[in-house]
């Protein structure tokens, strides 16, 4: 066998192997609902692309093996060459298979963002991956080991035949026809693209969006272009001030200064609570009671659909879009002021009682532990038994708070934050709460999926979640009772919200951090202002606020209740101030984990742009709160107008945090859309529905 025959043979086998995978993509991965022409075009592209890639990889690999082994003695050459070829091909095969497993169970892929997540949080990622997907990891390992044996054996046999001159192999006819076969596939794709005008680009884009290996490289966005590209803003926010300067101008808290208790619930969408309409009346009685006597915000959007961004945005009143990839806060050199630090400058005692791992993604560095007077968290209490490396039972945190507040003698007002983990997957809580709603499935039983839950498992898993949420509500009641026993309930502002929502297959996905659907970003927001604090306010408070607000509004709203000026770095608004309205105010949310999505909600309209898939979605939440009717193609002018507003915000964020804008001299500032863009939205949408009357 000659060198040319060896390379051509490898190319045929490579093209055949990945060509078969291309057929799999065409059959199993392309989205449903496409026209016949588009589907045929996409299928042809899938086969051609993967066959071409397979032939190229095979040729380059055998060339590498030949060149690397050439200096070796003949008796070693034809053992080392197959080893080199196996060392290249098997990891590629394992990566391909693992991507298929991951995509089938999570709708995500193992790209640079997933690798970055694992790199920065290795223990947590692998602990959860093993708990939830052990069978997939074991199956991948078995397939990979089998592939090592098979590939090496075939490669060794082939190189042995190459070592001894022999007549051309019997597949000569196939080799001669390989060129025409590939050419025919290209011709089929080209004809289909020509026959359906405009469909060739759309067909290829569909392949880039659907094939897991191609999604890794964000080829859809590269192919379509950056539709959120916009010029840099003319200006940013106010000049940066020192802590001392802000303290001098912040003013003094009201007298008496109210205490602030911030209760953050993990993974709770607004519609999961009875006070937001969930039918189980006994699910959240303690939260419902605080809402009934406080202010309930009907439509609050989390700043992101995953914890890291959501929590930091909540504390800093800043959107966390700072680059094209999430750096897990490796760079924290940008200017910010956290809510607890602002309150400390105002004379407050600071305390944290968190069931979560505050060191995850360096979250604890935005207000370091040494800034607090009391710091009780998952990661600082090694003596407490824990179910995993991310959370512990909420009773440890709340009981520590009960002990603290009962013994407290400090005369300063206090700020106290809770991060309750009960509703976090896997929804593991003790009896009698664990089986209050029945039946429930075993732990970690998602059927055959992690993010995809089978219909027969879904109601059982929902029962388990509701039991966990009911357990979390119990601890909210214990927090209130402790405040009452200490005699400070009437002088305390209690804020209840979630870091993000939790999905249960409303759009074919579960959990959070995989999309920006309403179930993942529409969170509860409740302000309960004690009677003594209400009496000191210059204006009455509303019982319900139907306007759209954001998680970044919590810090300036708390500052308004305390009586101090908001920090000039904050992008949020005081949404309890008289006259607040969300009319013509765009509210933004973000996902930048293993998928990049940005969303804007304006006047009841919600526009989502998926940068990973280069795809738009548009919904009228006033008529379609469940986001069932995508209007992006039906109303292109409206989609374009909202996309321009989203692009302006995105450019404002990215240009501010870009290296060219450093060192920072100003704060990022609040993005205000051009009035002309708002007018375009008004014209495209028709008359804007007025905000409902506040109550």
pLDDT average, residue stretch 285-312 = 97
DSSP category for residue 29: I
Residue 390 has pLDDT above 60, yes or no: yes
DSSP-assigned states of every residue in 648-679:
HHHHHHHHHHSGGG-S--B--------HHHHH
Which helix (DSSP H) or strand (DSSP E) does residue 485 occupy? helix 458-485
Using one digit for the tens of pLDDT, what is the confidence trace for 88-138?
A: 988 888 888 878 877 877 777 877 777 777 667 677 666 666 666 666 677
Of residues 32 and 440, more confidently modeled: 440
pLDDT average, residue stretch 197-216 = 79
pLDDT at site 167: 41
Find where tokens 């191609």 sit: 214
pLDDT at site 245: 97
DSSP-assigned states of every residue in 544-604:
EEEEEEEGGGHHHHHHHHHT-PPPTT-----TTSTT---TT--EEEEEESSSEEEEEEETT
Of residues 538 and 171, more confidently modeled: 538
Secondary structure E strands in 141-240: none
pLDDT at site 492: 98
Using one digit for the tens of pLDDT, what is the confidence trace for 662-691?
A: 999 999 999 999 999 999 999 998 754 434
Q: Where are the domains of the chain?
A: 3-224, 243-317+338-685
Nearest to 670 by CA among 570, 556, 566: 570
Nearest to 152 by CA among 95, 78, 98: 78
pLDDT at site 541: 95
Tell which CATH classification among 3.40.50.150, 3.40.720.10, 2.60.40.420, 1.10.1760.20 matches the domain 243-317+338-685.
Answer: 3.40.720.10
Residue 283 has pLDDT above 80, yes or no: yes
Residue 452 has pLDDT above 90, yes or no: no
pLDDT at site 112: 72
């Amino acid at each position: 066998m000659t060198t040319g025959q060896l390379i051509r043979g490898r190319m045929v086998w490579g093209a055949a192997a990945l060509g078969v995978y291309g057929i799999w993509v065409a059959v199993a991965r392309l989205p449903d609902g496409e026209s016949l022409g588009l589907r045929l075009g996409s299928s042809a592209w899938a086969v051609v692309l993967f066959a071409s890639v397979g032939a190229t990889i095979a040729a380059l690999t055998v060339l590498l093996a030949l060149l690397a082994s050439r200096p070796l003695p003949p008796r070693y050459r034809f053992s080392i060459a197959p080893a080199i070829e196996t060392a290249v091909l098997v990891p590629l095969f394992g990566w391909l298979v693992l991507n298929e497993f991951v995509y089938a169970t999570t709708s995500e892929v193992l790209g640079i963002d997933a690798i970055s997540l694992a790199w920065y949080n290795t223990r947590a990622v692998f602990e959860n991956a093993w708990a939830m997907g052990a069978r997939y990891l074991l199956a991948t390992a078995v397939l990979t080991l089998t592939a090592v044996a098979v590939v090496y054996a075939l490669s060794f046999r082939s190189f042995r035949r190459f070592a001894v001159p022999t007549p051309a192999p019997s597949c000569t006819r196939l080799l001669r026809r390989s060129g025409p076969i590939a050419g025919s596939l290209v011709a089929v794709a080209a004809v289909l693209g020509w026959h359906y005008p405009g469909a060739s680009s759309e067909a290829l884009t569909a392949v880039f969006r659907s094939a897991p290996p191609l999604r890794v490289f964000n080829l859809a966005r590269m192919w379509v272009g950056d539709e959120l590209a916009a010029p840099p803003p003319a200006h940013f926010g106010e000049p940066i001030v020192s802590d001392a300067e802000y303290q001098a101008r912040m003013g003094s808290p009201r007298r008496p200064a109210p205490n602030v208790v911030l209760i953050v619930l993990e993974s709770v969408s607004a519609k999961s609570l009875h006070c937001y309409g969930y039918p189980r009346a006994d699910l959240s009685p303690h939260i419902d009671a605080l809402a009934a006597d406080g202010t309930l915000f009907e439509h609050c959007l989390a700043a992101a659909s995953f914890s890291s961004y959501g929590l930091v945005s909540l504390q800093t009143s800043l959107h966390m879009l700072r680059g094209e990839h999430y750096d897990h806060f490796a760079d924290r050199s940008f200017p910010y002021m956290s809510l607890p630090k602002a309150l400390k400058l105002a004379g407050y005692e600071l305390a944290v009682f968190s069931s979560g791992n505050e060191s995850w993604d360096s979250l604890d560095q935005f207000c370091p532990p040494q800034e607090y007077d009391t710091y009780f968290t998952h990661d600082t209490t090694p003596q407490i038994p824990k179910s995993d490396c991310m959370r512990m039972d909420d009773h440890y945190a709340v009981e520590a708070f009960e002990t603290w507040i009962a013994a407290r003698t400090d005369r300063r007002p206090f700020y106290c934050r809770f991060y309750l983990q009960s509703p976090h997957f896997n929804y593991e809580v003790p009896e009698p709460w664990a089986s209050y709603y029945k039946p429930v499935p075993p732990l970690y039983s998602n059927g055959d999926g992690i993010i995809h839950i089978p219909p027969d498992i879904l109601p059982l898993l929902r029962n388990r979640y509701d039991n966990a949420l009911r357990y979390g509500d119990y601890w909210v009641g214990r927090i209130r009772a402790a405040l009452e026993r200490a005699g400070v309930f009437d002088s305390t502002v209690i804020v209840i919200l979630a870091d993000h929502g939790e999905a249960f297959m409303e759009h074919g996905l579960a959990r959070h951090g995989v999309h920006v659907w309403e179930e993942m970003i529409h969170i509860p927001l409740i302000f309960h202002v004690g009677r003594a604090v209400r009496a000191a306010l210059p204006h009455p408070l509303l019982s319900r606020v139907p306007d759209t607000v954001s998680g970044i509004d919590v810090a300036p709203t708390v500052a308004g209740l305390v009586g101090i000026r908001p920090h000039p770095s904050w992008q949020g608004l005081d949404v309890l101030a008289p006259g607040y309205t969300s009319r013509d105010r765009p509210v933004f949310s973000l996902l930048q984990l293993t998928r990049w999505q940005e969303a804007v909600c304006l006047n009841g309209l919600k526009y989502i742009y998926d940068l990973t898939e280069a795809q738009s979605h548009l919904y009228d939440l006033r008529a379609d709160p469940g986001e069932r009717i995508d209007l992006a193609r039906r109303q292109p002018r409206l989609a374009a107008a909202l996309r321009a507003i989203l692009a302006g915000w995105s450019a404002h964020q990215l240009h501010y945090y870009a290296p060219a804008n450093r060192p920072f001299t100003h704060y990022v500032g609040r993005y205000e859309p051009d009035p002309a863009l708002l007018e375009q939205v008004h014209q495209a949408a028709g008359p804007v529905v007025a905000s409902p009357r506040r109550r």
